[in-house]
Structure 1
């Protein structure tokens, strides 16, 4: 990223940046727009959050339910209320003391349906487009037929059949020409327009000669014919779209000239019935002749293709394997400036105060991008910022980044931390009983027959993604590597096939989502070691498979990735490949793990979460404490997430499933007891049982996790059916998105509904739900309190101040009942008290108890901002059944007391970990004096820094103790 940071000035000190204390995430769409969101701002202010955190607000595909398919970064989404609606929302937020954080999508754009004007311009003009540099397109791929073209995988079947079926038609509207494919209107290249105009000229009536002596020919027909010929010549004389000599000025002139000619044609059509008739006749004749129509289609700057077979030859980089999302070249300063102009305008005007960045691992140079973003924000805010001098960053920015176990966020990044998936995984694992890993694994293996480790599933998933979903990206990368090899006598004998297989193997064994090498050769500490590990593991895997590849090909790939070469010219070429390689490892890992292996390895589904590693069976308390201490020191303002729009399950769905780790024998007996009934509701198909044992096991856990706490499973069958359809397609074993097996999916739906309707099974499921329910609720409450008080900026996902038993999207974007939440909050605002807390605990199923914990913790954060934003973190040891820690700052002290593994602690005798179940355990505090549990209003006198847990948790199974 090339960016010039504002020069530091000694006259003006940097203004303190806005740092949220807490955020609340809202999912916007056309049914919940700025106006609707504005109405709940008073509620959010009362709840106690400091910032409202919005899903993408930028213009996106009409009807988008999420906003991540941005079509124009320079415009605020009109479906949400546009710029005016956003400004009203922000102004109301400021009135209430709230700030606004927005989600920004720098990696890609939505290109479906003709709604992206920049992509449409590329389709029309090809390389000559003013916006060709926006997108990461390989204009000279190995396939000759695609040279100078974009592969466009939009057809429902093979091109020839679509053409023969008459589904492709040329159309004209207001002087512009399109290729119509059902609802999609694709623009025509200028040179092909010339062919249509020439055809129209042939359909004009011939000039008539008057029989009267000395009369002149019919001048109107001659003039019309001449004007059409002139237009055709003008269009045909435009520079070819594949010309390498075009400057930005040439591209602009070309587009402007075409606009002039379009207006000329429209004027001619408006004034001449002859021309209108001739053009209609020409279009009809071409559309009726597949040979002529194909000839014109072949002149386009895109090549139409069947969507199912296009992945192997796709020549534009996508977001993962989604054809309708094209990656942006944000490393180009021109693209960066265009994409962020409106964002910086909103920062400058005080409309927004923070940014959440989506999918930053897809960027060519994340570190350079972050620095450029902060430099632009500094200029917009009118503050001095010198990235080399340190000091606070001008704008609150957090980046979506998945950290593998043991991986750390690069310290030099100009962000305030991650969006919190690392914290989510650490906290989630705290409520899993690691001592029962072998027993849970045995139950899973016996039922499903799956003997593979998660690591093996991950490796296979990454290989599958490269061969089925992202082969085009692998091919483009391999072709680049082959060109590098051809230039070196020592590597020119490596075949394209060998290089491709080596690239696949190294990506499949890559230990993290990506490395962060930069074009100048700099890199993050440990990047070389990660590359070396991947190369070493790829060699080992190659030997396991019989050694089909010579080991030297892996060594060569490793040297290119580390830029291990002497001369600068070759190093620059290696750097370009290495940075492109980094952009591919992330999508392959994400798709291979989160969207494949997570659905193939169902040992304990609460662990199969974004940011987590299902192979790690729980988080040790000391590991959670160590990570929290590191976050307090390095990233004290990182976001802390519990549920997000991307999580596979809501936080309370996971909390309930984690209880199974405490009762492997009960769970195993349940699975064995109902296995025959499961078999009765299954169907025998050619490829085996439907559902498969894996899908059945996934269903059992999901039904239990999502079973509503209020005991009213009215829409549970519909939700479970939708989830299982998605889960089975993501697993890609018996059905998939690319090749749905309708018979299997019908059997799966029948199984889901039939088993849930089976009275015996339904009763047993309800009984198991009743057994785990209070312990799952305890996990959810403890996790909520820990998230709201640990170092960082806690985010509450919409509606998660009550129970969140959602499943994967779109289930997690269901509307929230804010009127009910507002009524509940009004009751709480009368003040925390033990009678109120006890009443809510007795009625815990309605979620009021979680709202109490959320509200009380947020109010405490608001009352003690320095304590929670800058306070130290001290672990408190009170045994394996308690997550406890202290936050200290400037004489202020708060202690979080969050029970865990309470089913084991209580031995299922009582539902809550209260009073005497804690025995003689003592809680050692950093100080003595009077402490108040802000959740209940209880006060405790602490002497000698110690207090019995039985006293602290005598009446309520949770405590946030604040020293008074």
Structure 2
């Protein structure tokens, strides 16, 4: 594949493809995205996946383009549309870690039928080496195998010349031995039992089978099986179609790699992939102060770390301290530190969701224990040690190399913390610590055990932190993003400036994302919830009023109420109208969040009574019946209106950070206007592109006539979302015209002085003689700001001064109004020109 100039990768726009939004639908928005200023269309997985999949991460055939999404012919038409437009190209999302272990997957079907004789046996990451003695566990039954047999839900039928096993409504293959038996004997209960016991797979109750499962899963999902990407033959087979498309269509210019941490050897995989395409981004959730490995052959990450560091700029720390104190005082919580919550959550999921993996990995390690030491501790002791170290690890995984020491300070800290908590056998702990601290060059068996442990620590972190702890600990939900730190405290401006300098040195083309298909709440919901840190006492008082109404709160944990109320306020409809659809969305989200928290209810053990109380609570606060509840609703509605207004400033500031900071500005479908989505599947609802096309056309026409009048209109009518669309369009125009400034230019923090200096974030971007100057307001609830329009009320900030370098330009132009500004006048009304932010270009 031909290497592209790196400044072509300016802006990516993510589209989620599925049966209701196909390649043809994507083709229909290409012209709009080109007019908006997007450089690259960024597609969710395009290969065959499970029928009805709304994401494509459950692939069934990497050799075929999804028919449900339109098939190869329609995909080629989409490429041609991109070619004829002003877009630079496409970025494809691929999933090298796993495939669906479903009968729709022909390769998996072949393995089940033929066992080790299958040509695809080595494709899948199976823990069994002899499926006749140790068959593949399939946890697909709703009851025990005997009960299902007695109920008549397992039978054999003949399809053409071949016998198959019908389980419920699914057809499973039967091996050659079973075919011969059935050809010779009439099916009976005895014959059926004999056939079941002779297969290369074993059907199990899903509740029990999950504890016995003998293949590597994607996280804890039984229906997704890991593939052995470290095998060169598997690598070639899996990527064959993708490489064929890239070679044939130069418009496909980059790849996004899903869940790179699931691979046994990420470094080697990325190096091999880089030889085919140099433009790679990896989905990688980084821990606090963790960076991508410098030796990875990638342009960068998909940007979760940017989202978290940028979001914290809008969190008012004094208010956050108040909320932390209020939360811990009023919530009956066993955790006073978020890390303790994470540790306990990880220990819990290790036992409930990953017991089979823990058992397998413990066995691998225990095989390497010297014979004399086995007299001092058992595999059970070692399992406890592995659990404790895994739970204490604050990053997803380490990256052991065969002849290199594991030099990770997170690992050292995890071992120290685990040792402090450890109450079991000290000999087991000492041996495991020595293994991990060994200076490289492990024996082959020990090295394999470490690599398998690394593949477990990631899923445990994902399920323990992302899918459990972040739903349990919620003083301020806007800090609970993917890879977030709910207990964060610090100087966000200093942190952001340091982040930009580090990014410039390491991976300057990492994506800047604010919303994705995986984020727990959209950038606009996030931006509203930030405001609770500014209005912390008012929010705390409102929460206490909700709790005080026993007709509402009876039978609910206070934590649940806190979480739901924050969500309701953050996602409150822009027009203020509560519809049945909104109520149902909040209810569905709250049930998912409650199950993820795994306290009062869970996916494994559903507590229907508690979930009904959650639904009733939401219905009562949003559609009140009693006089008291109606009064409370009025207060919530008024408060929601306030945080919606100030949240709009935060959202627009977030947009400016994303598009003017180092990196590829990444947009999620529809987020160029207001989007109040929650976690999937809520964030995969249809986007109204007709509204966006019409609005962009209107904005572009009005801008030609009078940029200033247009800005007055859209800031006054800010709820329409056209202010966000206008700013997106203008910022992307600047990115396209001055790509080198934003992709390669210096990042220079600008000191702010004055009474309200904390209310601003400012920096310069410079490349040669071209400069951009950014000034973002924040914490505007701290002044008596007008709430009539989303424009900065500059009268409050008359004494505010910005200290630019002496050699910085004197003359500037506001990109929203095209009006000029002289830095020596220091007139903020000229700087902001009636807008919510100031982005100035040097003249």
Please tell me the TM-score bracket, short chain as reference.
Answer: over 0.9
- Does 1:829 find its partner at 2:700? yes
Matches within 5 A, 1:269-348: 282-283=186-187, 286=188, 289=189, 291-348=190-247
Question: Whole-Å Cα distance in 2 between the matches of residues 949 and 770 of structure 1?
Answer: 27
Question: Whole-Å Cα distance in 1 between the matches of residues 496 and 469 of structure 2?
Answer: 25
Which residue of the partner structure matches residue 820 of structure 2? 939
* Kept after mapping to 1: 8 A contact 2:7/2:743: no
- Does 1:579 find its partner at 2:455? no
Question: Whole-Å Cα distance in 2 between the matches of residues 92 and 490 of structure 1?
Answer: 66
Deviation at 1:909, TM superposition (A): 7.9
Question: Whole-Å Cα distance in 2 between the matches of residues 358 and 123 of structure 1?
Answer: 26
- Does 1:757 find its partner at 2:628? no
* Kept after mapping to 2: 8 A contact 1:25/1:795: yes
Which residue of the partner structure matches residue 105 of structure 1? 95
- Does 1:597 find its partner at 2:469? yes
Which residue of the partner structure matches residue 393 of structure 2? 510
Question: Whole-Å Cα distance in 2 between the matches of residues 961 and 558 of structure 1?
Answer: 55
Deviation at 1:696, TM superposition (A): 1.1
2:351 is aligned, of 460, 463, 467, to 467
SS in 1 for 2:360: helix
Which residue of the partner structure matches residue 584 of structure 2? 718
Which residue of the partner structure matches residue 846 of structure 1? 720
Structure 1 pair 883–404 and aligned structure 2 pair: CA distance change class (3 A): same
Structure 1 pair 20–312 and aligned structure 2 pair: CA distance change class (3 A): same
Which residue of the partner structure matches residue 193 of structure 1? 179
Which residue of the partner structure matches residue 378 of structure 2? 495
Question: Whole-Å Cα distance in 2 between the matches of residues 15 and 425 of structure 1?
Answer: 29
Which residue of the partner structure matches residue 814 of structure 1? 685
Question: Whole-Å Cα distance in 2 between the matches of residues 904 and 406 of structure 1?
Answer: 31
Matches within 5 A, 1:519-558: 520-522=402-404, 526-527=407-408, 529-542=409-422, 547=423, 549-558=424-433
Matches within 5 A, 1:387-426: 395-426=278-309
Which residue of the partner structure matches residue 653 of structure 2? 782
Which residue of the partner structure matches residue 748 of structure 2? 874
Deviation at 1:748, TM superposition (A): 1.5
Matches within 5 A, 1:733-752: 733-752=599-618
Question: Whole-Å Cα distance in 1 between the matches of residues 7 and 404 of structure 2?
Answer: 31
Structure 1 pair 924–949 and aligned structure 2 pair: CA distance change class (3 A): farther
- Does 1:649 find its partner at 2:528? no
For normalisation by structure 1, the TM-score amounts to 0.83
Deviation at 1:492, TM superposition (A): 5.6
Matches within 5 A, 1:671-710: 671-677=543-549, 679-683=550-554, 689=555, 691-710=556-575
Deviation at 1:762, TM superposition (A): 2.1
> Deviations along 1:169-205, whole A, 9 cap, x unmatched?
1111021221111221111111122211221xxxxxx
- Does 1:116 find its partner at 2:16? no
Segments of 5+ residues of structure 2 without an aligned counterpart are 625-629
Question: Whole-Å Cα distance in 1 between the matches of residues 615 and 65 of structure 2?
Answer: 40
Which residue of the partner structure matches residue 226 of structure 1? none
Question: Whole-Å Cα distance in 2 between the matches of residues 744 and 465 of structure 1?
Answer: 21
Question: Whole-Å Cα distance in 2 between the matches of residues 413 and 425 of structure 1?
Answer: 22
Which residue of the partner structure matches residue 51 of structure 1? 40
> Deviations along 1:837-885, whole A, 9 cap, x unmatched?
1110111111111111111100111111111121111111223211211
Question: Whole-Å Cα distance in 1 between the matches of residues 674 and 483 of structure 2?
Answer: 22
Deviation at 1:477, TM superposition (A): 0.5
* Kept after mapping to 2: 8 A contact 1:25/1:52: yes
Question: Whole-Å Cα distance in 2 between the matches of residues 537 and 140 of structure 1?
Answer: 36
Structure 1 pair 310–908 and aligned structure 2 pair: CA distance change class (3 A): farther
- Does 1:357 find its partner at 2:257? yes
Deviation at 1:928, TM superposition (A): 2.5
* Kept after mapping to 2: 8 A contact 1:881/1:899: yes
Which residue of the partner structure matches residue 436 of structure 2? 561
Matches within 5 A, 1:28-177: 28-98=17-87, 99-112=89-102, 114-139=103-128, 147-177=133-163
Which residue of the partner structure matches residue 367 of structure 2? 483
Question: Whole-Å Cα distance in 2 between the matches of residues 635 and 642 of structure 1?
Answer: 18
Deviation at 1:17, TM superposition (A): 5.9
* Kept after mapping to 2: 8 A contact 1:894/1:961: yes
> Deviations along 1:646-671, whole A, 9 cap, x unmatched?
00000010100010001111111111
Question: Whole-Å Cα distance in 1 between the matches of residues 405 and 834 of structure 2?
Answer: 54
Task: Report which stretch shifted further, 781-790 or 447-456.
Answer: 447-456
Q: Which has the larger radius of gyration?
A: 1
* Kept after mapping to 2: 8 A contact 1:922/1:949: no
* Kept after mapping to 1: 8 A contact 2:124/2:228: yes
Task: Report which stretch shifted further, 910-919 or 619-628.
Answer: 910-919
Question: Whole-Å Cα distance in 2 between the matches of residues 523 and 39 of structure 1?
Answer: 52
Question: Whole-Å Cα distance in 2 between the matches of residues 650 and 132 of structure 1?
Answer: 41
Question: Whole-Å Cα distance in 1 between the matches of residues 101 and 484 of structure 2?
Answer: 31
For normalisation by structure 2, the TM-score amounts to 0.95
SS in 1 for 2:305: helix
* Kept after mapping to 2: 8 A contact 1:359/1:401: yes
Deviation at 1:692, TM superposition (A): 1.9
SS in 2 for 1:312: coil
* Kept after mapping to 2: 8 A contact 1:74/1:339: yes
Task: Report which stretch shifted further, 555-564 or 343-352.
Answer: 555-564
Segments of 5+ residues of structure 1 without an aligned counterpart are 1-5, 7-12, 200-281, 378-394, 684-688
- Does 1:20 find its partner at 2:9? yes
SS in 2 for 1:309: helix
* Kept after mapping to 1: 8 A contact 2:744/2:767: yes
> Deviations along 1:58-111, whole A, 9 cap, x unmatched?
110011111010111111111111221111101110110321001110111112
Question: Whole-Å Cα distance in 2 between the matches of residues 171 and 673 of structure 1?
Answer: 63
SS in 2 for 1:308: helix
Question: Whole-Å Cα distance in 1 between the matches of residues 814 and 169 of structure 2?
Answer: 61
Which residue of the partner structure matches residue 248 of structure 1? none
Task: Report which stretch shifted further, 949-958 or 180-189.
Answer: 949-958
RMSD: 1.9
Which residue of the partner structure matches residue 266 of structure 1? none
Which residue of the partner structure matches residue 327 of structure 2? 444
- Does 1:612 find its partner at 2:598? no
Which residue of the partner structure matches residue 803 of structure 1? 674
Question: Whole-Å Cα distance in 1 between the matches of residues 413 and 795 of structure 2?
Answer: 52
> Deviations along 1:289-325, whole A, 9 cap, x unmatched?
2x33111101111111111122221110100000001
Deviation at 1:764, TM superposition (A): 1.4
Deviation at 1:491, TM superposition (A): 4.6
Structure 1 pair 554–415 and aligned structure 2 pair: CA distance change class (3 A): same
* Kept after mapping to 1: 8 A contact 2:547/2:558: no
Structure 1 pair 373–308 and aligned structure 2 pair: CA distance change class (3 A): same
Question: Whole-Å Cα distance in 2 between the matches of residues 37 and 897 of structure 1?
Answer: 35
SS in 1 for 2:835: coil
Deviation at 1:742, TM superposition (A): 1.5
Question: Whole-Å Cα distance in 2 between the matches of residues 512 and 193 of structure 1?
Answer: 50
Structure 1 pair 17–957 and aligned structure 2 pair: CA distance change class (3 A): closer
